[in-house]
């Protein structure tokens, strides 16, 4: 679909789209409506209709654009977009729950479908995306995947796309999602999801990718309470470089293996020059168990999917006060604690190199591979992690274990892995660690 606006709406929008040559400059409808938050989406459609092919679309500087309805600005071609104002998304939660576009994975939805071929989107001169996410954080009450709660921006069915200088403040759900696309780069990227009440900002991932290849994330700062960067199934050839994460779950592969009918393959992914401050995790690979379950507090039941995760590199990490710096889990979401040795996801050739810093508790890593798929090629190279208490010469409370814990189970050629394994990794060890590993008898239970 190349026309995004019915002709009947064109006269209304045209007065606030200034078309000069191959450039369309947008101004908000509020300018002629006494400052009222009139929906600017018809004007947005008109601008992309006129200048979305071999042209440029500019959201004018120092203006607020009220986005009160879903947007589908796909099928762009040789188009430049310059965001110099504020995109302010409405807080009409019933509207979004009923009208957001589905994007297939995990019954997710999005507020904005964006993309095409040879497209550049730049945040310039103070332009930014305001998701008004607080309304969602409060409404969601720390629950997880709520159908209809929209991803802020989804790049879909696209090729050769650059997103540069984008700031997303208070995203409604995931901030960005790359789907079924090739050669997509997101650079100089900023995300901040911060709640001002008792409810957290659950499911505000900074970036997710799925069914996409040849991807780059470079120069980013992300503060939220979920994955900093999350790599979903069938992501290939992704480089994540120079990213700072605050208070979140760091770099994550997964979750994968959720659907029996949709195999997941993740290959050739590198995370390098990463900083994790006060995070729950830093370098995480998480898969579902191999038996499907119909009940899940995560809001999207699953398990039983097959595939593999291989050739993944976590390199040059600084971790500061991180609860669990390194983890592989093949039973991350099971509700019953059963079937943790059934994962159909094969994990291999994972390298952790030059990982340094402090853990919040006495655990540096927990690597659990299932009995069905023991993990070959797991390597530690120059991994130096000490608990915060240890660095201050203080004892660790509530545990007899004063040395850093490295949990390992089912690692092939463990003795040559470089991992100082000194503990068994439980099969259902969680990704939200809030205490020290107690002692050998407790930690080895599975």
The verdict on whether 226 is a catalytic residue reads: yes
- What one-character-per-residue DSSP string does 403-436 give? SPEEEEESBTTGGGS-----EEPPTT--S---S-
- Environment class of residue 7 by beta-carbon count within 10 Å: exposed (0-12), middle (13-18) or buried (19+)? exposed
Q: Are 337 and 294 in contact (CB under 8 A)?
A: no
The DSSP 8-state label assigned to residue 417 in this structure reads: S
Instruction: Record the tokens describing residue 441, joined without a space.
Output: 């008898």
Q: Residue 197 has which token pair?
A: 């009440």
Q: Sort residue 148 into left (φ over 0), alpha (ψ -120 to 50) or beta.
A: left
Nearest CA-CA partner of 323 in 385, 370, 379, 382: 385
Gyration radius from the chain CA atoms: 23
Q: Rounded CA gap, 250 and 226, in Å?
A: 8
* Calpha distance 435→321 (Å, rounded): 13
Round to whole Å and give the CA distance between 369 and 342.
Answer: 10
d(CA 361, CA 205): 24
Task: Quickly tell me which residue has 């650059």 as its tokens.
Answer: 162
* Of 239, 238, 243, 131, the residue nearest 176 (C-alpha): 131
Question: Among candidates 121, 64, 123, which has minimal Cα distance to 89?
Answer: 64
Tokens standing for residue 279: 């995070």
Residue tagged active-site, from 40, 205, 208, 226: 226
What are the C-alpha distances in Å from 26 to residues 42, 83, 84, 127? 11, 10, 10, 13
The residues, any chain, with a CB within 8 Å of residue 56's CB and separated by 6 or more, are: 22, 23, 24, 79, 80, 81, 82
Residue 410 CA from chain centroid, whole number = 28
Strand partners, 164: 122, 187
Q: Catalytic site residues? A: 226
């Amino acid at each position: 679909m190349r026309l995004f606006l019915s002709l009947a709406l064109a006269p209304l929008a045209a007065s606030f789209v200034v078309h000069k040559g191959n450039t369309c400059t947008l101004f908000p409808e509020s300018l002629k409506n006494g400052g009222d938050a009139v929906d600017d989406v018809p004007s947005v459609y008109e601008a992309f209709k006129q200048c979305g092919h071999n042209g440029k679309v500019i959201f004018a500087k120092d203006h607020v654009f009220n986005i009160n309805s879903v947007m589908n600005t796909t099928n762009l071609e040789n188009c430049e977009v310059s965001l110099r104002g504020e995109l302010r998304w409405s807080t009409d939660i019933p509207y979004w729950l009923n009208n957001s576009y589905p994007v297939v994975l995990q019954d997710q939805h999005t507020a904005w479908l964006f993309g095409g071929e040879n497209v550049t989107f730049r945040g310039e001169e103070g332009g930014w995306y305001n998701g008004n996410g607080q309304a969602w954080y409060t409404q969601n009450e720390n629950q997880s995947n709520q159908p209809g709660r929209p991803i802020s921006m989804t790049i879909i069915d696209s090729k050769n796309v650059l997103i540069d200088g984008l700031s997303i403040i208070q995203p409604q759900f995931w901030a960005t999602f790359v789907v079924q696309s090739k050669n997509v780069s997101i650079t100089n990227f900023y995300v901040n999801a911060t709640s001002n009440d008792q409810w957290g900002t659950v499911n505000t991932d900074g970036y997710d990718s799925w069914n996409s290849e040849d991807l780059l994330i470079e120069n980013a700062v992300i503060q939220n309470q979920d994955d900093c960067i999350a790599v979903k199934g069938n992501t290939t050839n992704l480089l994540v470089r120079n990213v700072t994460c605050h208070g979140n779950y760091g770099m994550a592969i997964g979750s994968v293996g959720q659907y029996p009918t949709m195999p997941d393959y993740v290959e050739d992914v590198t995370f390098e020059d990463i900083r994790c401050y006060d995070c729950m995790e830093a370098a995480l690979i998480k898969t579902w168990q191999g038996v499907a379950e119909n009940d899940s507090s995560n809001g999207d039941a699953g398990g039983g999917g097959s595939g593999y995760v291989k050739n993944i590199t976590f390199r040059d990490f600084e971790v500061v006060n991180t609860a669990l710096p390194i983890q592989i889990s093949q039973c991350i979401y099971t509700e019953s604690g059963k079937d943790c040795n059934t994962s159909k996801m094969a994990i291999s050739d994972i390298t952790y190199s030059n990982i340094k810093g402090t853990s919040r508790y006495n655990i540096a890593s927990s690597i659990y591979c299932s009995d069905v798929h023991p993990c070959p090629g797991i390597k530690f190279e120059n991994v130096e992690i000490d608990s915060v208490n240890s660095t201050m010469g203080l004892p660790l409370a509530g545990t007899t274990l004063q040395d850093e814990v490295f949990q390992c189970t089912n690692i092939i050629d463990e003795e040559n892995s470089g991992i100082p394994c000194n503990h068994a990794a439980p099969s259902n060890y969680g990704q939200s660690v809030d205490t020290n590993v107690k002692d050998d008898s407790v930690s080895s239970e599975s």
